[in-house]
Amino acid sequence: MSSKREREYERRRYEKWQVRHAEALRRRRQQRIVAGAVVGALVVVIGVVALVVANGDDETPTTAGETGSPAATAGAGPDATPGATPGAVATNSADVPDPALAEDRTWTGDIALDSGDVGIELDGAAAPQAVANFVTLAQDGYFDDTKCHRLVTEGIYVLQCGDPDGTGTGGPGYTWGPIENAPADDVYPAGTIAMARVGNDGASMGSQFFIVYQDSTIPSDSAGGYTVFGHVTSGLDVVEAIADAGTKDVGGITAPVSDVIIEGVKIQ
């Protein structure tokens, strides 16, 4: 390809990225407005919402997720929302990416953290819905400049990310299921990338995911385990260094002692 054609290709690619990024920012603002309204209503009706996944007493599969199931509480299990309440994420099946977008193939890329890059590989054949969801959100810039809000260093060993609000209660405005490709033996080896689940609805997921940085056994519950959709190919030491630095309490959630920011996610 000539240098002229290369420049033209890069120019068009950049223009498309600008359009996707602007749309992603617009959607993110709308989602935060909706989420805020729902959470406000819950507070009025229910009073104080218990952070089920963030509590140490519930140290079962609630490590990374979006609304209070095992993926949301790193340490309790991959629950979508370390401490969120059912209903905090609106469900709109029309917005869930088509599993066919996973193309039944392997995807590669990297998650650029402010502390270093993490290379990843996604299995579109074993977990088509999860991969289609992650790839779509990544290409829309959904994860850009978001915080990895949860770090579990006891019982299970996970770093949970994917919440645009950085609180453990945020999501893309929809949930999906059922669980895909969960390990039969409940063992999640170091480097595993899996989806967090929505509290009280184990089969539902949104955008929150977790990276296992040390072999972890996360017991299944009545809903099953956690959707494994990829693994780390390089940079696991970056996540290990984050864990070694320690944790701090943020609203009942164990978070990295220093903010961990996703600068961007590239997938191809």
Reported as a pLDDT band with limits 50, 70 and 90, residue 55 is very low
Q: What is the pLDDT of residue 232?
A: 98
The dihedrals phi and psi of 194, each to the nearest 5 degrees, come to -140, 165
User: Given phi > 0 = left and psi -120 to 50 = alpha, else beta, which region is 218?
Assistant: beta
More confident residue, 26 or 48: 26
Q: Return the higher-pLDDT residue of 201 and 52.
A: 201
Asked if pLDDT for residue 202 goes beyond 70, the answer is no
Retrieve residue 5's tokens.
């054609």
Cβ within 8 Å of residue 18, ≥6 positions away:
none
- pLDDT of 223 reads 83
**Chain-wide mean pLDDT for the chain?**
78
Cis, bond preceding 99 (omega within 30 deg of 0):
no
Give the residue with greater pLDDT, 75 vs 174. 174
| Helix, strand, coil percentages in the chain from 3-state DSSP, rounded to 5 | 30, 25, 45
Dump pLDDT digits (tens) for 99-137.
Answer: 999 999 999 999 999 999 999 999 999 999 999 999 999
CATH number of 3-267: 2.40.100.10
pLDDT at 18 over 70: no
Q: Which pLDDT belongs to residue 15?
A: 60
DSSP state of 56: G
For range 7-11, the mean pLDDT:
57
For 129-176, how does the pLDDT look when each residue is reduced to its tens digit (9 = 90+)?
A: 999 999 999 999 999 999 999 999 999 999 999 999 999 999 999 999
Q: Where are the alpha helices (DSSP H) in 97-197?
A: 128-139
What CA–CA distance (Å, rounded) separates 194 from 74?
A: 12
110, β-bridge pairs: 119, 266
pLDDT band at 268 (very low <50, low <70, confident <90, very high): very high
pLDDT value at residue 59: 30
pLDDT at position 58 over 80: no
**Res 198: pLDDT:** 83
Q: Please give the pLDDT value at position 71.
A: 43
Q: How far is CA 94 from CA 20, 173, 198, 207, in A?
A: 19, 11, 18, 16
Evaluate if residue 98 carries a pLDDT over 60: yes
Q: How far apart are CA 87 and CA 92, in angstroms?
A: 12
**CB of 168 closer than 8 Å to CB of 53:** yes
pLDDT at residue number 44: 31
**Is pLDDT of 24 > 90?**
no
Q: Is the overall model pTM greater than 0.85, yes or no?
A: no
238 has pLDDT over 70: yes
For residues 56 and 59, what is the distance between their CA atoms, to the nearest angstrom? Answer: 5
Rounded mean pLDDT, 225-231: 97
Confidence class for position 61, pLDDT limits 50, 70, 90 = very low
Any idea where the domains of the chain sit in the sequence? Answer: 3-267
